[in-house]
Amino acid sequence: MAVVGVPLNSTLVVVYQTGLTPAEGPVLRQKSLSDVRSDAAEQAVYEAAHALFGLAQYPVIDVLYRKNFELVDE
């Protein structure tokens, strides 16, 4: 039996810093963008995230690219 992964959807999650807490720790927020092409290259997704969020006033801390698959037994 062979198991095949069928792409369902993918999401780009960008974590950014909006300021500092009174204890000087970072205040982090995140924004999710759904329905990103699951066949997009990781480098292209990373560059797109930085290009989009480079227009905002907050620095990007982390970029996550989540892909969901359905595992099908063939």
Q: Which residues pair with 58 in a beta bridge?
A: none
Contacts of 56 (CB under 8 A, 6+ apart): 16
Which has more confidence, 1 or 3?
3
Residue 74 pLDDT: 85
Query: How far apart are alpha carbons 29 and 27 in whole angstroms?
Result: 7
pLDDT 10s digits, 40-59: 999 999 999 999 999 999 99
**Tally of helices (H runs) and strands (E runs) in the chain:** 1, 3
The two three-digit tokens of residue 69, written as one number: 């698959």
Whether residue 60 is predicted with pLDDT greater than 90 in this model: the reply is yes
CB-side neighbour CA atoms (13 Å) of 64: 13
Return d(Cα 18, Cα 57) in angstroms, integer.
Answer: 9
Percent of the chain at pLDDT above 90? 93
